[in-house]
Structure 1
Amino acid sequence: MMEHPEKFPHLIATWAIAVAQALDEIGLDSKAIFADTGIDLIHARDPNMRIPAAKMTQVYNLAEKLSNDPAFGLSIARFIHPTSLNALGYSLFASRTMETFCRRIVRYFRLVTTNAINQFEETETDLRLIMMPATDRGSFIPQDSWLAMIVRFGRDIYRPNFSPIRVKLRRPEPKRNKRAFIDYFQAPVDFGHKTNVLIFDKQDMRMQLPAANAELARQNDQVVLSLLARMDREDIITQVRASVVDLLPSGECCKEKIAERLHMSERTLQGRLSKRKTSYRNLLNETRKELAEQYISQDLRSFSEVTYLLGFADISSFSRAFRNWTGLSPTAYRGEYLNNLQSDHG
């Protein structure tokens, strides 16, 4: 799934705080650098503030010039914390596996920046997270920092030596400090690639994470959806997903109700979704599947309660749908999940 780029990209203001800290650490005057580009660092501490990506590109260009270090972007990742990404940070840290972590990156990274085009792919041998800037593609610092943050978060929530099996970067091979990239990622690094790619081992990415929390992930996913819906009224997919989550427990989640909430006709709704190469039915099924897996992974809710929360008429209808999505019955899925959890912690 590819995320949809924007005409005038912007990013979460708290990212600028991490950049400022990285600048200060090497003795550069972050306040002066940001002031030169017209960014107020005091206001940047507001998690609801957004900064034009073009202004941050000016900061990155100055940072690379003044630091004289092509690997400066890697240092930014050390100052990114879960709270830097608002509710998405908590959702990522509560992910069940590193695979679901990466799928959240693809789905929700717009909350961090609308200047990223992300994709997650599965090949016969590995899993690949692809990240591209929508504009300012010659500014490599933010691209390096995105990938470095993902690997750093993986080391925080999975294991300290978590690493991809290979990294492909868009930036040209640096004339100095090339070793910093290899040392950071602890993997072979190819420079001058057409896209930025983190390549991971499949089995590694599907291991249960020690601090996985399906309920916390679900709650923060809902907050992220609400923030995205508020941030971008034109993003029809986000609007529909947020409405589906709200309406499912009522048993009245249908295309007519969704269109009514979004103040448009059903025909207009379907037309806008078709332009994004999806449909109401696809989004409904995707949302139900994700919520179902999160609910079933918890040993907190009965199957009848999950059936109600997902808007199914009865347990048998839910069970059939769940088996179609996962190949397992809800009982078998929960049993397998809990057994894996016990073996991982045993």
Structure 2
Amino acid sequence: MPTKWLRASLLSGIDKILLEQFSLSISLLENEINFDFNLLKDPDYKLPLTTALKVLDDCAKYTGCQYFGALLANEQNNDHLSLMYSLAKSCNSFDDALSVVFEQRLKRTNGFEWQPSKDEFNAYIKSHIDDISGIDTTQATLFGIIRLFKFFKNITKNKWCPSQIYFTFPAPNNIKYLKKILGADIYFNMKFNGFIFPIKQLSLEMSGQNSKLNTALKDFLTLTGKSSNTNKLTQIKLSIRSLLILNQRCTLTDIAESQHQTTRAIQYYLKKHQLTYQNLLDGVRYNIARDMLIETENSIYKISSLIGFTDSTVFTRSFKKHVGLSPTKYRQEYQDLKLGNNYML
């Protein structure tokens, strides 16, 4: 069976909780469970799924906190979920958001699987974690349920309310903490882990409708759909465009992950076509900049910031070198051309 991996940053914040809430020595725990918590601070580092599950389980045992996974999820700000937040918020309804998130993103999270379904009265979201021999997945389940709960609350502006939440394991030693976070009836020793809520809540409207997000969503769905009409280079460009439009980090590693390939494979493909990642990134950046200069009234500074430049002067110089005109001149010439066309009509 192939090794499954998770981003180490998914578990970020463990060291802070151990120190601030339990006054425990990080170094002592590191020695005891043979794990370096500094790895969780590296955004590009990945952990085997078995290691991630074991770390959560070991922390629960070390602290005596049987709801440690829930505590960690509740303390995290989930910045790394911002792309999924944006994708979900750009949908028309909660039902549409579930389809996008589950079909395009969460179902591809190695080791974790979410299964939405519905009947005449209720909707269900069941979670599943691959069976790992000898490792208790209770903490990972608590962690995942709380994260997803916060996610749904956010995209619906707190309007989504599950009526029941099920767990397959026995109740932990502080049910009050879970009830305070979840605000729903909680049941343990059930047949599945997940949420039950009234089916009418699927029609809840999302809060983030705007053209920028819709464009990014369309690009993202084209990318993940792997259309036979979309070649690999176009897919890479779409991925870069989506991340830039949503103001996300856009490294070669991020692009490789979006393509479900290694960075080496992407580099080899680009080299084969006499391209570099930086050249490709710059090309997409300037295309977005040109669109914004024409279609919006955003300042040069704001546009440069939106596409990843920290210095608008550097952006102006680079744009002129790439396009042949300064951003201001490019915008002015388009406006002059538009006025001329209107006059001719």
Determine if the alignment matches structure 1 residue 26 to structure 2 residue 21.
yes
Q: Aligned ranges for residues 209-220 of structure 1 at < 5 Å?
A: 209-213=206-210, 215-216=212-213, 219=216
CA RMSD of aligned residues (A): 3.5
Alignment partner of 2:166 out of 168, 174, 198: 168
Question: Is the CA contact 2:168–2:188 (under 8 Å) kept in the aligned structure 1?
Answer: yes
2:10 aligns with one of 1, 10, 15: 15
Report deviation, 1:195. Answer: 1.6
**Normalising by the residue count of structure 1, what TM-score does the alignment of the two structures yield?**
0.57
CA contact (8 A) 2:162 2:195 kept: yes
* Identical counterparts, % of pairs: 15
Alignment-mate amino acid for residue 95 of structure 2: E
Verify the 8 A CA contact 1:34 1:59 in the aligned structure 2: no
Unaligned stretches of 5+ in structure 2? 235-259, 261-294, 296-345
- Larger Cα-atom Rg: 2
Assess if the C-alpha contact under 8 Å between 2:89 and 2:206 holds in 1.
no
Q: For residues 76 and 247 of structure 1, do their structure 2 counterparts lie closer, same or farther at Cα, with a shift above 3 Å needed?
A: same
Q: How does 1:306-321 map to 2 (within 5 A)?
A: none
In structure 2, give the amino acid aligned to 1:157: I
Is 1:184 aligned with 2:181? yes
Q: Classify 1:30/1:193 alpha carbon distance in 2 versus 1 (closer, same or farther; 3 Å).
A: farther
3-state SS of paired residue (2:124): strand
Deviation at 1:162, TM superposition (A): 3.8
CA contact (8 A) 1:182 1:188 kept: yes
Q: Which runs of 5+ in 1 are unaligned?
A: 1-5, 227-237, 251-261, 263-299, 301-346
Match of 1:71 among 67, 73, 81: 67
1:31-83 CA deviation, whole Å, 9 max, x = no partner?
65456555544443444432111111221122111222222222222344443
Q: Residue 221 and residue 189 in structure 1: after superposition, are their counterparts in 2 closer, same or farther (change >3 A)?
A: farther
Change beyond 3 A, Cα 1:207–1:183 = same
Number of equivalences: 232
Contact in 2 for aligned 1:87/1:224 (Cα 8 Å): no
Q: With a CA cutoff of 8 Å and minimum separation of 6, indicate the structure with the bigger relative contact order.
A: 1
The counterpart of 2:156, out of the listed 145, 149, 158, is 158
Q: Does 1:115 align with 2:111?
A: yes
Match of 1:147 in 2: 145
What is the aligned partner in structure 2 of residue 51 from structure 1?
A: 47
**Kept in 2: contact 1:61–1:139 (CA 8 A):** yes
Q: Is the 8 A contact 1:82 1:89 kept in 2?
A: no
Tell me the TM-score normalized by structure 2: 0.57
Residue 103 of structure 1 and its aligned partner are, at CA, apart by 2.7
CA contact 2:164–2:197 (8 Å) conserved in 1: yes
Contact 1:92 1:217 in 2 (8 A): no
- Asked if the contact 2:92/2:205 (under 8 Å) is kept, the reply is yes
CA distance in structure 2 between the partners assigned to 1:161 and 1:18 by the alignment: 28
Letter in 1 for 2:18: L
1:242 and 2:238 are equivalent in the alignment: no
Q: Is the 8 A contact 2:87 2:101 kept in 1?
A: no
